[in-house]
Amino acid sequence: MSRPRVLLAGRLMPELESALTAQFDCHFLVNETDPGSFLAAHGKEFRALVTTSKNGADAALMDALPNLKAITHFGVGYDTVDAGAAAKRGIGLSNTPDVLNDCVADVAMGLLIDAGRGLSASDRFVRRGDWLKGQFPLATRVSGKKLGIVGLGRIGQAIAKRAQGFDMDIRYHSRKPVAGTAFTHEPSLVALAQWCDFMIVIVSGGPATRHLISADVIRALGPQGFLVNVSRGSVVDEAALVDALVNRRIAGAGLDVFEDEPRVPQALMALDNLVLLPHLASGTRETRKAMGDLVLANLHSFFEQGRLVTPV
């Protein structure tokens, strides 16, 4: 029997690429010098597409794949996939939820502690030889402080669980209260920012949450407040955040994501009151393997049973 034909929008982990190419008849669209011409000639051959946040899948790509019935997304956030166009066409869409919760939550807490205590900044202080000239400035205590979580989904709840180990007082903001939690729901983001010492952002990306963390929210955090973003760069008004950090209108930040990745605003590079990471929250061998396994499971389930394992 011939293997099912699968289109890969971009490059993936070598291990996942090897497994995909061994189990399916795969073609890398990214390798085509003229993708449009290739799709015009061969687009009808593919029933499944594998993509990532970097590559996404817009309506035009779906239209170029007339027999497409399944999109398997490597990652939990699928804001670069036109989910509306997929639904209109009856194309199933899956992502890789749950398997990355712990690693993202670990990084969120790591950023919070690093930003508050100045761990990365103090490392640079030692490496520059500045310790020979004097003491590192006093930092901000983390234990027992007030934490506002924007988005109390699976990852948000994993963050809250870790924060409880630091005796933090926790409140959260979401579109509606989350059932089964004892944490206080705060309907106003500005009010949450005014209340908390640290704010962690972990909501989905896309038009609905663009600049959810607005200039007003950032202003409400105040000169003693810290912002941590492990969601999507688009969720934060980056220009307002840069201005607040440069002018010390907030105490600091921990950022794993940016609006125009991998380009980071140059104004942030010289600042010591923030931590910059290259979008690595889920970047462990264990988590990425589990994400890859889910992509494979979704494809096998689709071709063998006509359904996805983790539909969005």
What is the full per-residue pLDDT of the chain (312 aa) written as tens digits?
Answer: 589 999 999 999 999 999 999 999 999 999 999 999 999 999 999 999 999 989 999 999 999 999 999 999 999 989 999 999 999 999 999 999 999 999 999 999 999 999 999 999 999 999 999 999 999 999 999 999 999 999 999 999 999 999 999 999 999 999 999 999 999 999 999 999 999 999 999 999 989 999 999 999 999 999 999 999 999 999 999 999 999 999 999 999 999 999 999 999 999 998 999 999 999 999 999 999 999 999 999 999 999 999 999 999
Name the token pair of 68.
């497409």
Residue 232 lies in a domain: yes
Domain match, 146 and 254 both: yes
Residue 310 lies in a domain: no
Residue 312 lies in a domain: no
DSSP three-state, residue 205: coil
- Domain count of the chain? 2
Name the token pair of 182.
């004892």
- Tracing tokens 């409880």 back to the chain, one arrives at 164
Domain match, 210 and 120 both: yes
Domain match, 127 and 220 both: yes
Domain match, 139 and 258 both: yes
Q: List the catalytic residue out of 173, 232, 238, 259.
A: 232
Q: List the catalytic residue out of 27, 211, 219, 279.
A: 279
Residue 190 lies in a domain: yes
Domain match, 191 and 77 both: no
- Of 125, 43, 77, 47, residue with least CA distance to 291: 77
Domain match, 157 and 229 both: yes
Where in 10-123 does DSSP place strands (E)? 25-28, 48-52, 70-74, 92-94
In whole angstroms, how far apart are CA 97 and each of 74, 149, 280, 287, 309? 10, 19, 16, 11, 11
Q: List the catalytic residue out of 45, 162, 261, 300.
A: 261
Domain match, 149 and 234 both: yes
Residue 154 lies in a domain: yes
Domain match, 116 and 50 both: no
Domain match, 157 and 62 both: no
Domain match, 247 and 201 both: yes
In whole angstroms, how far apart are CA 215 and each of 32, 81, 145, 186, 240? 42, 27, 23, 18, 5
Question: Secondary structure of 50-67 in the HEC alphabet?
Answer: EEECCCCECHHHHHCCCC
Residue 259 lies in a domain: yes
CATH number at residue 83: 3.40.50.720
Residue 255 lies in a domain: yes
Distance, in Å, from the CA atom of 79 to the CA atom of 260, rounded to the nearest integer, reads 14
> Model pTM?
0.91
Domain match, 198 and 242 both: yes
Cβ atoms within 10 Å, residue 278: 11
Domain match, 91 and 193 both: no
- Active-site residue 279, yes or no? yes
Distance, in Å, from the CA atom of 151 to the CA atom of 111, rounded to the nearest integer, reads 17
**Domain of 25?**
5-97+285-305
